[in-house]
Amino acid sequence: MKAALKFTVVLLSLSLVSGLQFNYVDDIEEEQQPVKDESKYGSLWPLPQKIQISEISFKLTSVSFRIVDGKDSSAGPSCSLLKDAYRRYYEYMFGSAKKRSLSKSRRTGPSELTELQVWITSPDSECDGYPSVTSDESYELSVDQPYAVLKAPKVWGALHGLETFSQLVYEDEYGAKSINATQISDFPRFAHRGILLDTSRHYLPIKVILANLETMAMNKINVFHWHIVDDQSFPYLSRMFPQLSQQGAYHPYTHIYTPADVKMVIEFARLRGIRVIPEFDTPGHTQSWGKGQKDLLTPCYSGSSPSGTFGPVNPILNTTYDFMSQFFKEISTVFPDDYVHLGGDEVDFTCWKSNPDIQDFMAQHGFGKDYSKLESFYIQKLLNIVTSTNKGYMIWQEVFDNGVKLKADTIIHVWKGNQQQYQNEMANVTSAGYQTLLSTPWYLNRISYGQDWRSHYKADPQDFHGTEAQKKLVIGGEACLWGEYVDGTNLTPRLWPRASAVAERLWSAKEVTDINDAFNRLSLHRCRMVERGIPAEPLFSSFCPHEYRGV
């Protein structure tokens, strides 16, 4: 994927006083001036499906409030996932305040809320499992006296309900915590709500990845699409092929993800209800692979002689498929999710066309001069390899466009074109019966001055001509942050709160489109992320009660 930067036009005026001086004039469109008002939904983000908020309020104090398992919850006291979440959200709501035992003489006031009971209602809580595309993420939340009740069939819905409860808590001018009587019934509109991070163009430290997983959970994002390797570097340390990162990473020791690192990311994500889907893109985007795996890439020719450069994966050698079979067998054991992303985009045929051995192979197989058929030949073999590991696969849209034979459960990831083009692609993919994801309007590496989150918020993955059956094949979308100009120094503020706009579009009801109400809620949500230590960039001129203080 190429990350194209979008710049606003600035006016330059030159002065010859003491040499040249450049005066930059801000170009702020009048339509971007936000309407500042208070939303009746406070700071809730993403907006729940059904919500009723009363004017009756209750006090909360760090001394008396606690989060506990409901009496008949199927999760029980042994569910470490929930216990970890209780501690996390208690600290979000009360900071570093320590919970103390209540003395027998102390009595809570009639307007004080002292307990949130969490009930897992399904016999199988999935406490020790991994979230999947079919996970039940629904929950119901009732805030009333004598206590608040959060009910969810599975732990994944409970995690979302805890986030919502924490968002309902607010401070008065003296810093006292309150919450209003509230009734919420909530579930996501789409099952797949993802963010792609690119760790090849620039290495992202584990600390940065974990911080953004934490922020994804705050926004009810449930998929981390880990674009872990690419042309530029191969930071994934393979147990079976350690030479791939030894030769292909920026540095073989400091800029790699060890098996322990990967395991930590997967478990940290699981505890927040987030799936980790790795992407190992082939046959293109593989220059770093070739540094550690001999004969994997195609030798390019200049005339009748090798040029010394290499192109995509060599699709005509049996050794290529032997390697891929072993490599993806390892990947299937390392990453527990049901799916792996296989890429398949932007394959440059120039090198293949120059290679005489490939020319002969094309002739023998009757491919003529159509190199997309050679690409399809390779992809089909790769898909069979991945199928043998009992994994489903996701692929970029080019694989579908080139007519490769795909399994019925293949997920097609749409990323190309303008609005009309991606809408046509969504219609074509779903009319062929395949599930699909949308990313085209959500390339967050494309930046502009001003409130570009608005365009992200307005894009809808079901906005194309098609039947209701086709629309149901859209399982969600992903915001993508490609890494050519992004590393640990600027990733988080570039991502948030812009990705929050995508999060609400993928969670909330289709009818939730009021841009002014969204601005008012998102401004408060952004300040909440800042208070929780996330350097989310501002939406417009404003301030937060608890400003970001750095690290």
Measured CA to CA in angstroms, residue 128 lies from 156, 271, 506, 541 at distances of 11, 9, 26, 44
Contacts of 390 (CB under 8 A, 6+ apart): 332
Nearest to 51 by CA among 500, 529, 517: 517
Residue 489 CB neighbour total at 10 angstroms = 10
Residue 96 CB neighbour total at 10 angstroms = 6
Structure tokens at 181: 């009587």
Cα dihedral 506, 508, 509, 513 sign: negative
Structure tokens at 277: 């889907």
Round to the nearest angstrom and report the end-to-end CA distance of the chain: 32
Q: Which of 346, 484, 531, 537 is catalytic?
A: 346
Nearest to 393 by CA among 426, 437, 445: 437
Contacts of 181 (CB under 8 A, 6+ apart): 53, 54, 56, 57, 58, 143, 144
DSSP code of residue 531: H
Concatenated DSSP letters of 96-139: TPPP-PPPTT----TTB--EEEEEE-SS---TTS---TT----E
Is 346 known to be catalytic? yes
Distance CA 469, CA 430 (A): 8
Distance CA 391, CA 407 (A): 11
Nearest to 49 by CA among 57, 58, 41, 60: 41
Measured CA to CA in angstroms, residue 149 lies from 73, 117, 183, 205 at distances of 11, 5, 10, 38
Cα dihedral 181, 543, 448, 483 sign: negative
> Which residue in the block uniquely carries the two structure tokens 């001086």?
21
Compute the chain's Rg from CA coordinates: 26
SS3 7: coil
> Which residue in the block uniquely carries the two structure tokens 């960039």?
537
Task: Name residue 198's beta-bridge partners.
Answer: 227
Distance CA 310, CA 248 (A): 14
Asked if residues 113 and 143 have their Cβ atoms less than 8 Å apart, the reply is: yes
Contacts of 472 (CB under 8 A, 6+ apart): none
Nearest to 482 by CA among 245, 274, 257, 225: 225
> CA dihedral defined by 234, 236, 242, 246, rounded to 10 degrees?
40
Distance CA 147, CA 507 (A): 27
- Catalytic positions are 346
